[in-house]
A and B are shown apart, each in its own frame.
Chain A
């Protein structure tokens, strides 16, 4: 099981199981192999009592779930947009272009993202940067958000952690022009602090900043398909001024 993947109560790792048995893993592996006749074993293990009570044990799980649903402890549906689901730390939402300390984009217009993009939706125009240690910066950086498939290849390809993704999904617009995002919009926009940062695989390798202060979000363990009430967020009113933040 990959780390972080939600586990149910029954799923324990091999090591945990072995530890619970209070025996070294090596010993558990030394069980002799034997050939089992499964029909005989089933006949031996079953009894009339078991036939009656085993289904009831299964139904207990179902009953508990039904009770939870009725009492509102667990809810498959939520009242969007007042309540929103919590997305994981690696969620691939709308892109963010990160900034250096002085506020200029970290991007050096290397075209890795444009090359990797399977939807061919990134358009970059490079320009000469006066600092010879930086040399190149994007005069234009446009992403066609309607072509974008949010695969995250651009983030994977970027050698500078210049492009990351956020947890923002609400990017609809009234006109087509608004869906072409330019570098200003990619670096900071009003909605960003609420949604928070998403897919940024190189976070520990590069020291980059985003041009806003995201609200602190604790890491959450998700309950999979089921949404526990405490995982549902209420979105309060937000005012965010890009020039001040």
Chain B
């Protein structure tokens, strides 16, 4: 399908074609050429190129990738590690799996480029435990890459060794947090670490480490092949390039879409995603995974799908896991499901998150069962205030965003359930 205006196909260029997981097909349409080009460049020049492209982390934080790479010290005798964060667990997000399932070589090429730039010779793909079938596909692709001498002691014949391994998680959302991922990879309980020190200097096995999301790495081949300027030409001033959105909820055409950053939100929902299903009215949109504040239909007016615009509108781009809610949705029930998730996934290391997420989930269960007290609504907001900004990692903040936004913006629904 040719690209529509505003829907440049960089990452999803080939997922609809059959057999794309095989290396021969990947090479047929120009795969691994970017890697060849990268290997001929200077490592520092490659980092500058990525910086110039304006690529930002696509896992949810949106941190400029080139800048993250430049934090890694170059003159150290410790090995550098690149870890691919494929622990996609943010509710509403299913964009990384599509890449790994249908086009695994784009990730391998992207990782190889990144490893070369960072002078990293050992890399891991940390895939969430529930994605075992995805991991199998990815491993098959890796095996093909090794056979084709793209990975191994001499990448594409050059004097650069690279090994990539797949590591399966065991079903913890918290291991998507970069220090927690590193801990899990080291064989410890997935507890996030105190920062500083940062992974760039003390990460995996106390060595410099970069953790990048699948989507971020998958964008690298196109950037190297077509140049940073071409990538920077897409998108807005501060949000360059394209973003994958995994749309679910009450839409007619749910699925994974690739959108130029800056595309209007409502246009995307109503046109590309087919509009609200069954002819109902839009009530609310969670634009970037459950960790971002919900937006009412009114708030979505005029909002563009990029980092800045969504932030200004009171929400965030996040991971791009868009959930569309129509007028039949009970917001307290939705919030209860979301709060249950965070309570279940809290690692339990620090007090506010461990106790606060559990307590909020219990209160919400009571509310939707009709046993809530009127004071419970304010109690939820109080719990949110007590949790925010006081924890080791942002999981507590990720629980605070939905609680606060749901309760404030749809307060009447909560109060109605707490009448008795």
| Direct A–B contact present (CB less than 8 angstroms) | no
B residues lining the A interface (CB < 8 Å): none
